[in-house]
Amino acid sequence: MAGDKMQDWVQARADELPGVTVDQPFGPEVDVFRVRGLMFMALSPSTATSVTLKSAPADAEALRATFPAIIPGYHMNKRHWITLLADGSLEHGLVEELVTEAYRLVVAKLPRAQRPVDPEVFGRV
């Protein structure tokens, strides 16, 4: 059940973000979420046990130290990616914030003309 809830949360948040597309370059078992062709999130809809997100290295380290359900990115660069385990311990707001931050990190790397939002202000509280 926890996995289903987290999957719903990340899917709903990603659907709200401007310019997001979804494809399956690794096969039908993994949905890859992109903005202007750059990946910011991977989700396995069949298992619903985890989601992998882009993260700033310092943030990734702090998150892993703080939350047991956040581990180094599964099958990804461990410095720049985190995996959220759907064990029910992560709060909805935190999960949505991490999806937004992953999106912002990728948007910030795009040329200004291709950015669907201003990453300096989008999603900031």
Q: Are 76 and 55 in contact (CB under 8 A)?
A: no
For the segment 99-110, what is each residue's pLDDT rounded down to a tens digit?
999 999 999 999
Q: Are 84 and 53 in contact (CB under 8 A)?
A: yes
pTM over 0.85: yes
Sign of CA dihedral 88, 89, 93, 96: negative
Task: Extract the residue ranges of the chain whose pLDDT is less than 70.
Answer: 1-3, 46-48, 125
For the segment 45-64, what is each residue's pLDDT rounded down to a tens digit?
766 678 999 999 999 999 99
